[in-house]
Homo-oligomer: A and B are copies of this chain.
Amino acid sequence: MKQSKLFTKSKKESPADEQSKNAQLLIRAGYIYKEMAGAYVFLPLGLRVISKIKAIIASEMDAVGGQEILMTALQRKELWEVTDRWSDENVDVWFKSELKGGQQLGFGWSHEEPISEMMKQYVHSYKDLPVYVYQFQTKFRNELRSKSGILRGREFVMKDMYSYSTDASEHDKFYKDVIDAYMRVFKRAGLEDYVYVTSASGGAFTEFSHEFQAISEAGEDTIYVDKSKKVAINDEVYNEKTLKDLDLNEKDLEKVASIEVGNIFDFGKMKSEQLGLTFTKEDGNTEYVHLGSYGIGVTRLMGTIVEIFNDAKGIIWPDSVAPFQVHLIGLNLDNADVLKKANDIYDVLSKSGVEVLFDDREVSAGEKFADSDLIGIPYRVVVSAKTADKVEVKRRDSIETKMLEVNELLSELKK
């Protein structure tokens, strides 16, 4: 894409009303725009990052047998009353509204109830199980405060998956598969060294639930990390008994702030009992379906990556989620030869399947370099009157520059 066509522009100053690093950088670089506290527009650059993250997640959810669907945001009051999650006393994040006829309805903050109710249409026999469904949904949560940019939104994109299993052992097997799949997601998104499977309070059915916590100063959570064993304990369950249960030693643990980028819950048979979701077992008896629920905050994950990967100059995207692979910086473009050369390189890279943002704007070299650092695309490639038959290549996460021929650059990008 030619940057002269991109309608967004970078800003030198951080917005005064944003305290979080992720919102400051993403707004300055033109990835997001603040509509209101906790609700952000995704601009062309931002939407490209979201698409990359979604593609990574979708491929891993498909790999464990997930089937993608899209539930509705609109929610029926009657359904959530059955499970006692409608009243504001029990769930304090509902946005509620009403139909013309006066019937109340809500905007989905989670989807266990409607998906489980829907499954009554499709699950009848043990032969219909297990079933794994997932979606990318815009969730609405009426948060009291919303000051951490896209880490905690009133409107945000979430990947939520739901597993329906015949029994606890079938459930447990899938639960473990999802832990592995989630760790692959975080690894592919560049967070391998930062995300820990974390034991947290368990709820009704299990001693522990599991969270995926990314170490970051910006986090609202506190965890104790065993870096060699690659596991962690949430502060809320940190005590001697937990250490013993999890076979961890106090002296191996480091206390850090962290962001919860994913979580998984075992609902057991509770929801199915409440909603009447049953199946006929092989022996002819009727049983309730075992439900698990698994979430990754897509926009939160994007914000977490920014919180972790940045420096004084801007964002430093991991290659896998960057909006473009190459930021082609054209200097001296008033020189027709240089302009032709820059356009040729843009064409060659694009035709080779490389995603290129080509800075063809009529602004100073200093402004182009500053914007490039702020936007944070992995490879900066400079074409100018000085680069002759080569290009100057620098990775955003390095200070080294090297002169390469275009075919050498292509080889490096294909690595």
* Chain A residues within 8 Å of B, Cβ to Cβ: 5-9, 33, 35-36, 39-44, 47, 50, 65, 67-76, 95-97, 99-100, 105, 107, 114, 118-119, 121-123, 128, 131, 133, 138, 140, 142-144, 154-155
Contacts and interface: CB of A to CB of B under 8 A. Distances in A.
Contact of A72 (B9, B40, B95): B40
16 contacts: A7-B128, A36-B76, A41-B114, A42-B69, A42-B70, A44-B67, A44-B68, A47-B68, A72-B155, A73-B140, A73-B155, A74-B140, A99-B142, A100-B143, A100-B144, A107-B107
Given A107-B97, A140-B74, A133 B69 contact: no
B41 A72 contact: yes
Given A74-B35, A122-B9, A140-B74, A69 B44 contact: yes
A55 to B, nearest CB: 12
A256 B200 CA distance: 63
A78 B18 CA distance: 21
Instruction: Count this chain's copies in the assembly.
Output: 2
Contacts of A72: 35-36, 39-41, 155
Nearest to A118: B33
Contacts of A154: 74, 99
Given A95-B97, A100-B144, A133-B7, A47 B70 contact: yes
Nearest to A130: B7
Given A41-B70, A67-B44, A71-B35, A97 B96 contact: yes
Contacts of A43: 69
Contacts of A107: 97, 107
B74 A36 contact: yes
Contacts of A69: 41-44, 47
A39 B74 contact: yes
Contacts of A100: 142-144
A352 B24 CA distance: 46
A317 to B, nearest CB: 19
Contacts of A35: 71-72, 74-76, 114, 118
A67 B7 contact: yes
Nearest to A48: B68
The 7 closest A-B pairs by CB, nearest first: A42-B70, A95-B97, A39-B72, A7-B131, A35-B72, A39-B74, A44-B67
Given A41-B71, A73-B138, A97-B142, 17 more contacts: A5-B65, A5-B67, A6-B67, A7-B119, A35-B71, A35-B72, A35-B114, A43-B69, A44-B68, A72-B155, A73-B155, A96-B97, A97-B97, A99-B154, A100-B142, A100-B143, A107-B107
